[in-house]
Amino acid sequence: MTWENAEETAKPVLKCPLCGSTEFDRQQGRMDSRWGITSHKLVLQICRRCGLVLQFSAGRGIWDFD
């Protein structure tokens, strides 16, 4: 899955669980496993009001074999 496809599938209206805002900034991220062998791509939605970061999976990275 590409970043663009993942971002397009993340279109539902989000509501911040802390402050109730529906305005978010979108960024791309990556999370590595404990030993750095596996990697997961993330779509990050950052609340503009309180800064809470919501993480959504965008698929596996190239080094994730399982």
The predicted-structure confidence for 10-53, as pLDDT tens digits, reads as follows 567 889 999 999 999 999 988 887 777 778 889 999 999 999 99
pLDDT at 1 over 70: no
For 44, the domain range is 3-60
Query: Phi/psi class of residue 30: alpha, beta or left (left: φ > 0; alpha: ψ in -120 to 50)?
Result: beta
- Looking at the domain assignment, is residue 66 inside a domain? no
pLDDT tens digits, one per residue of 35-44: 777 788 899 9
Q: What is the CATH number of the domain that holds 27?
A: 2.20.25
What's the pTM value of the predicted model, to 2 decimals? 0.68
pLDDT at residue 37, as a whole number: 74
pLDDT at residue 66, as a whole number: 45
- Residue at 22: amino acid letter: T
- Looking at the domain assignment, is residue 65 inside a domain? no
Q: Which parts of 1-66 are beta strand (E)?
A: 24-32, 39-47, 53-60
Count of domains forming the chain: 1
